[in-house]
Chain A
Amino acid sequence: MTEEKAPNVIATRISSPLASPPQSPTLRIDAAGVYYRELNARLRELVSNGTKRIELHNVYGQRYIGTDLDRPVDIEIFGVPGNDLGAFMDGPRIIVHGNAQDGCGNTMNSGEIIIHGHAGDITGLSARGGKIFVRDDVGYRAGIHMKEYQDKKPVLVIGGTAQDFLGEYMAGGVLIILGLNPSGLSPQEPALNKVNGRSLGEGECPLKQVQGKFIGTGMHGGVIYLRGSVKDFQLGKEVGIAELDEKDRLVLKQLVGEFAQHFSYDAEEILYHKFAKLFPLYLRPYGRLYAY
């Protein structure tokens, strides 16, 4: 593992309006061939020593990056981080320049994960706080069993579309799916330039409707906002569908605004299109499953 202070690193950074002040130095770590335990131990040590910005280069599959870090720090990852990125994380912000694998944000408590690419299965599983923004698509079971308590409310915003079982057993938090990016997980589908057969209106973003099925199966808390529409057969039995109210619009405006800032979109264009709101019909859908 080699490290070097990089004083001129600001010039090479992807600019982000929420980035830390430029005066804090960035620590670069070459992660090539470094075992995940070593890497995470090094991160713990650096963060407890007060390092505020870390760049990880040549990351190839190291698991649990950012796990149990419990204070604000910016970690930028170049490469493909391994499974359970940011698991149990409590405070840091992780930016991935590439795709994430499975289990990203597993049970995270607070902080942010921003992925400039797609993410694999079970993105945001069991998250209990913090925010995850994925520029492109996600795999199966995104947002499975996210939960909330009082002010702890996890957020998962997906720029593209999702495969099956989106929001499965969801117990809390906000899940937003924008249907934006045409370079999706299924390359057979061409980019859609029309919405439900009609041409795009002025200032409207192209929409790729969610094709996934079993959306919200077992859902018993939280909310899913879905840009475009969804057919009944795509929904789990425990989900209702509703129009947005003023409160919903405020939540969307805030979170889509953050998403748009991260990935240089125009939030107005995204919000121009109609959204559907999915909500749980029952608090305890399986309360009597094993009790007679």
Chain B
Amino acid sequence: MKDLRRVSDPYQDDKIIDACSIFGAMDTSGRRFSGEGVIRAIANMHDRGNGLGGGFAIYGLYPEYADFYAFHIMYLSQKGQQETEAFLQANFDITYQEEVPTRPTPRIANPPVVWRYFLEIGRHRPELNSGNSEDDYIVDRVMEINTRLCDSFVFSSGKNMAVFKGVGYPEEIADYFCLEQYTGYLWTAHGRFPTNTPGWWGGAHPFCILDWTVVHNGEISSYGINRRYLEQFGYHCTMQTDTEVVAYAVDLLMRRHNLPLEIVAKILAPPFWSDIERMPLDRQKLMRALRQVYGSLLLNGPFTVIVAHHGEMIGLTDRIRLRPLTVGERGDMLYLSSEESAIRLICSELDRAWIPMGGEPVVGRLKVAVSRSHDPELDSGEGEAWQSPAATYR
């Protein structure tokens, strides 16, 4: 058991004033950049967390394997790894696999073994004619591993992106996984102050399913309702942290139900009934319908989240903004953060710094479509925006 007093209360204060920290940075031109700035920014909010969770999501991470599902799996035992690798071989074509490189970091204690696998579904598609997509197949297999196989947790399962996370301050996790060596066009980061649930490796943020990730500051008191609702659709919560439901909720709403983001925001953070009453009639009808159909996905309690998937980064707070979110814009860069100081630290001159209203999403979208397949120009990282006349995204 980690001695929490030494980690989070070195000055023996009577009270620990913490909160999670979240940060997101996106180059809407699609240029990939190193995580060095993001790591500095999240480290600047060190005091919001207490060392019991840190993590990062990186998009545009594996261009050389862009067409393969990249699984990051943590193993708590060797038996777990053997079972899971046999499962992967039976259900996928494994193109490449390796242990995720790490470096010894003094503060990171008892890490699980973390491996990555680049997978194709290939011939393993028995359910194809039942209308299920490859993405559905992946979600089902992830759930199967996380609920049935021992000591194994898939915590990242998208293409050309991945999550790195664990127990420690975010800057320590970055150090441990050598994140300064990776580049991506979109990064999100999280420093954790666990409230109701244990600080373990799977419970750190971001939470991920396919290429959806979420980092969160707050408490989702509707977790039980949300979780039971999502179980009807085959999503099983195994990470012991409330935030997990948000990742599955956006996958269900945006990918499977194909709803636009603006509608999804009104499901997760719906307007008050008193606000709905003042809307034009057709809008009222829509808002009432959303609350009736998707009432079980309303997120109750204080939250600020940064949700990301390929091509988009979304900031959203609860309706009465009980957790902070501030926005910085500079050229093609969009920053979302718990605190403005973290943004200014890595980009002191902003075109605009502002604070969105509660329940109103802030969205960064790629200006050009980014191909999933490898493009050497994207790798240069030298600063010029990448333009492609006919590249398609997805």
Question: Which residues of B from 192 to 231 have beta carbons under 8 Å from A?
Answer: none
The answer on a CB contact under 8 Å between A101 and B354 is no
Residues of B within 8 A of A61 (CB): 44-45, 339, 341-342, 345
Question: Which residues of A from 130 to 157 have beta carbons under 8 Å from B?
Answer: 137, 139-140
Return 14 A-B CB contacts under 8 Å, by A number: A61-B339, A61-B341, A61-B345, A80-B344, A81-B341, A101-B339, A101-B341, A118-B354, A118-B355, A120-B340, A139-B324, A163-B321, A163-B357, A163-B358
Task: Tell me, in angstroms, the Cα distance from A37 to B9 when the chains sit together.
Answer: 13
Interface residues on B, range: 20 to 34
Cβ-based interface call for B80 (8 A): no
Contact A164 B340, CB 8 Å, known A99-B353, A186-B357, A233-B274: no
The answer on a CB contact under 8 Å between B353 and A140 is no
Cβ-based interface call for A280 (8 A): no
Cβ-based interface call for A187 (8 A): yes
The answer on a CB contact under 8 Å between B355 and A120 is yes
Question: Which residues of A from 162 to 209 have beta carbons under 8 Å from B?
Answer: 163-165, 184-187
The answer on a CB contact under 8 Å between A82 and B341 is yes
Cβ-based interface call for A240 (8 A): no
Chain B min CB distance to A86 (Å): 16
Contact A185 B345, CB 8 Å, known A101-B340, A120-B324: no
Residues of B within 8 A of A101 (CB): 324, 326, 339-341
The answer on a CB contact under 8 Å between B341 and A79 is yes
Contact with B along A199-239 (1 / 0, CB 8 A): 00000000000000110000000000000000001000000
- Tell me the nearest residue of chain A to B278, going by C-beta: A233
Residues of A within 8 A of B275 (CB): 213
The answer on a CB contact under 8 Å between A60 and B345 is yes
Residues of A within 8 A of B339 (CB): 61, 80, 82-83, 101-102
Contact with A along B323-366 (1 / 0, CB 8 A): 01010000000000001111011000000111111100000000
Task: Tell me, in angstroms, the Cα distance from A262 to B304 when the chains sit together.
Answer: 34
Cβ-based interface call for A63 (8 A): yes
- Tell me the nearest residue of chain B to A117, going by C-beta: B353
Chain A min CB distance to B18 (Å): 12
Task: Tell me, in angstroms, the Cα distance from A173 to B154 when the chains sit together.
Answer: 55
Residues of B within 8 A of A60 (CB): 44, 341-342, 344-345
Cβ-based interface call for B320 (8 A): yes
Residues of B within 8 A of A36 (CB): 47
Task: Tell me, in angstroms, the Cα distance from A121 to B320 when the chains sit together.
Answer: 11
Question: Which residues of A from 95 to 116 have beta carbons under 8 Å from B?
Answer: 98-99, 101-102
Residues of B within 8 A of A98 (CB): 344
Cβ-based interface call for B233 (8 A): no
Of listed B274, B352, B357, residue having the most chain A CB within 10 A = B357
Residues of A within 8 A of B45 (CB): 61
The answer on a CB contact under 8 Å between B344 and A139 is no
The answer on a CB contact under 8 Å between A185 and B344 is no
The answer on a CB contact under 8 Å between B354 and A186 is yes
The answer on a CB contact under 8 Å between B354 and A140 is no
Contact A140 B340, CB 8 Å, known A61-B44, A163-B357, A185-B354: no
Question: Which residues of B from 289 to 347 have beta carbons under 8 Å from A?
Answer: 320-321, 324, 326, 339-342, 344-345
Task: Tell me, in angstroms, the Cα distance from A79 to B343 when the chains sit together.
Answer: 11
Sample of 19 further A-B pairs with CB below 8 A, known A63-B47, A79-B344: A36-B47, A60-B342, A60-B344, A61-B44, A61-B345, A79-B341, A83-B339, A99-B353, A121-B321, A139-B321, A139-B324, A163-B355, A164-B320, A164-B358, A185-B355, A186-B354, A186-B356, A187-B354, A214-B320
Residues of A within 8 A of B344 (CB): 60, 79-80, 98
Task: Tell me, in angstroms, the Cα distance from A137 to B357 when the chains sit together.
Answer: 12
Question: Which residues of B from 22 to 81 have beta carbons under 8 Å from A?
Answer: 44-45, 47
Residues of B within 8 A of A79 (CB): 341, 344
Question: Which residues of A from 37 to 56 have beta carbons under 8 Å from B?
Answer: 37
Task: Tell me, in angstroms, the Cα distance from A90 to B237 when the chains sit together.
Answer: 50
Task: Tell me, in angstroms, the Cα distance from A162 to B344 when the chains sit together.
Answer: 23
- Tell me the nearest residue of chain B to A122, going by C-beta: B324
The answer on a CB contact under 8 Å between A99 and B357 is no
Task: Tell me, in angstroms, the Cα distance from A36 to B46 when the chains sit together.
Answer: 12
Task: Tell me, in angstroms, the Cα distance from A90 to B93 when the chains sit together.
Answer: 68
- Tell me the nearest residue of chain A to B340, going by C-beta: A80
Question: Which residues of B from 87 to 120 have beta carbons under 8 Å from A?
Answer: none
Contact of A140 among B320, B345, B352 (CB under 8 A): B320
- Tell me the nearest residue of chain B to A59, going by C-beta: B341
Chain A min CB distance to B38 (Å): 15
Chain B min CB distance to A131 (Å): 23
- Tell me the nearest residue of chain B to A63, going by C-beta: B47
Task: Tell me, in angstroms, the Cα distance from A250 to B320 when the chains sit together.
Answer: 35
Contact of A37 among B11, B321, B352 (CB under 8 A): B11
- Tell me the nearest residue of chain A to B275, going by C-beta: A213
Task: Tell me, in angstroms, the Cα distance from A61 to B108 when the chains sit together.
Answer: 26
Task: Tell me, in angstroms, the Cα distance from A5 to B344 when the chains sit together.
Answer: 27
Task: Tell me, in angstroms, the Cα distance from A187 to B326 when the chains sit together.
Answer: 13
Task: Tell me, in angstroms, the Cα distance from A283 to B339 when the chains sit together.
Answer: 36
Chain A min CB distance to B178 (Å): 23
Chain B min CB distance to A108 (Å): 17
Residues of A within 8 A of B354 (CB): 118, 184-187
Task: Tell me, in angstroms, the Cα distance from A136 to B274 when the chains sit together.
Answer: 29
